[in-house]
Chain A
C-alpha cells in the first residue's frame, strides 16, 4: 500500500512525513512517499494533502502551475475513490470557495466556504493558535479512539463555514464554532495538524492509514 503526501512547496512537510512514516511502521500501513509528481499521485492507494500558507497559493500550486498533478489527484480520489486526507489549508481546499485575500475556487468536495475567523471578542486573538479541545459531532472510522475533550493543535486565521452540518465530524469553540474535522464519502479533512497533536494526532493518522471506506 502506498500513501502519497502531496508536496505543494508550501512549508513544513518534514514533520508530516515523519508522523505518517512512524504510524505506517507501527500499523503495517505500507509505504509513505512525499512527492509532487503526478505519476506518484496516480498510483497512490491513499492521498494526503498537507497545507501551510495561504489558500490561493496552495490552490495555485496544485492547479495552475501543475495541472497534471491536479488531474492525477482528481483521477485517484474522484475516479478511483482512494481515501483522501486534507490537513489545515489542505482541508480548506476541499471546500467550494476560499476568501483568503480574494475569492478562489476550491476542490468542491465539501459544501462550505472558507472565511476569516471572527471570534467576536478582541481578547480572542487571530490566528487561532494553540491547543483546543475537540467536540465530536458524529462518529467516523478516522476518529476511532478520539473523544470529546481531546486536544488538537490549531494554527489558522480562516476556517470552514459549513452549509451541510452532516459533513462536520468535529468542531471546537473559539468565540464561534470552528470546524475541526470534515468528511464526505472517501474524503476527510482536519483543520488542526495531526502531525503536531501528539497522541490524539498520531491516533488519527493511524486510523486514516487503516480506513477502507
Chain B
C-alpha cells in the first residue's frame, strides 16, 4: 500500500537556511545540507528546499547546494522558488533535484508547465499554488509571497496545470501559513477532489492532529511542514506514529 508522505520544507536564502533549524546533533543549523542529512536520518519521506530570494545572481549557490545534498541523501528532493523556464528545470535536475516546482511562472504562463513536462516527464514537475479564501467556497491564487492577488480561481487553475502535465500540486493556504491554526481543509479537499494527481497540503500546521486532518479531511497525499519540525516541537517519528495511530498508512522506519 502506498504510504502518506511527510515532507519537511527548508526555506533557503543565499545558500543558508532562514528561520533556522533547531535540532540536536546538527553541526551547523544554517547549512541546508546538514539539515537535509538530519531529516534523512530521521525518516522524512521527501525533502523540499524553497529558494526564497531566488535571483539569477544566486542561482549557482542553489545548484551547489542541491549537488551537495544529493551526494549525502538518497531520498527524493524537490526544489522550488524562482523557477521560470524549462531550462531552469533542466539545470536543477542535472544538479540532483528529483522534482522541480513552478509557482509564479506557471500563473503568468501555464504553457511553461507543458513545455517542461514534455521534456522531462510529468513525474518531476510540481506546481506550487498559493491561495487564499475570498469567500466560503472560493479560493484565489496570490503570487509574490501572497501579496499580489490574481483573480484566478485556485481549483480551476489546479485543473489547468494538471491538464498541462503537472505531476503533483503543492497547495499552500496563504491565510493559514505561519498561523499554526491548521491547513485550510475545504480548499485542500476541493482541489484534491478536482485533480487526478497527488496534492501536498501546506500552510498552517501547528499540531500533529493538523497533519492527520490534512489527509483524512483534506484528502492530501502528502503533508508539508516547516516550523513544527525545525524547532523540535515534534520529531518526524512522532508525527508518523501519530498519523499511523489515526489509521493513516505511514512508512515507519
**Residue positions of A touching B, CB distance < 8 A:** 10-15, 18-19, 52-54, 89, 122-133, 151, 153-157, 172-174, 193, 195-198, 201-202
Interface size of B in residues (CB-CB distance below 8 Å): 36
Ranked 4 nearest A-B pairs via Cβ: A53-B121, A14-B96, A131-B251, A155-B123
Q: Are B95 and A130 in contact (CB under 8 A)?
A: no
**Partner pick for A128 among B2, B96, B222, CB 8 A cutoff:** B2
Q: Are A15 and B2 in contact (CB under 8 A)?
A: no
**Partner pick for A127 among B4, B5, B120, B167, CB 8 A cutoff:** B167
Q: Are B95 and A126 in contact (CB under 8 A)?
A: no
Shortest A181–chain B CB gap in Å is: 17
CA gap between A123 and B67 in the complex, in Å: 35
Chain A interface mostly: mixed
Binary contact readout B97-130 vs A (1 if CB under 8 angstroms, 0 otherwise): 1100000000000000000000111111000000
B140 at the interface (CB under 8 A from A): no
Chain B CB count within 10 A is highest, among A13, A157, A201, for: A157
Q: Are A52 and B123 in contact (CB under 8 A)?
A: yes
Binary contact readout B186-201 vs A (1 if CB under 8 angstroms, 0 otherwise): 0000000000111100
Q: Are B76 and A196 in contact (CB under 8 A)?
A: yes
Q: Are A198 and B222 in contact (CB under 8 A)?
A: no
Q: Are A151 and B3 in contact (CB under 8 A)?
A: yes
A124-B2, A132-B2 given; A12·B96 CB < 8 A? yes
Chain B CB count within 10 A is highest, among A14, A122, A132, for: A14
Q: Are A196 and B1 in contact (CB under 8 A)?
A: no
Q: Are B2 and A174 in contact (CB under 8 A)?
A: yes
**Partner pick for B70 among A11, A15, A124, CB 8 A cutoff:** A15
Q: Are A11 and B93 in contact (CB under 8 A)?
A: yes
B40 at the interface (CB under 8 A from A): yes
CA gap between A192 and B118 in the complex, in Å: 21
Chain A residues, Cβ within 8 Å of B136: none
Beyond A15-B98, A123-B219, A125-B196, 15 additional contacts (C-beta under 8 Å) are: A10-B120, A10-B121, A12-B97, A14-B94, A18-B70, A19-B74, A126-B196, A131-B5, A151-B253, A153-B76, A155-B123, A157-B167, A172-B2, A195-B74, A201-B74
Q: Are A173 and B1 in contact (CB under 8 A)?
A: yes
Shortest A90–chain B CB gap in Å is: 13
Q: Are A130 and B222 in contact (CB under 8 A)?
A: yes
Chain A residues, Cβ within 8 Å of B196: 122, 125-126
Chain B CB count within 10 A is highest, among A13, A53, A89, for: A53
- Closest B residue to A13 by CB, please name it: B94
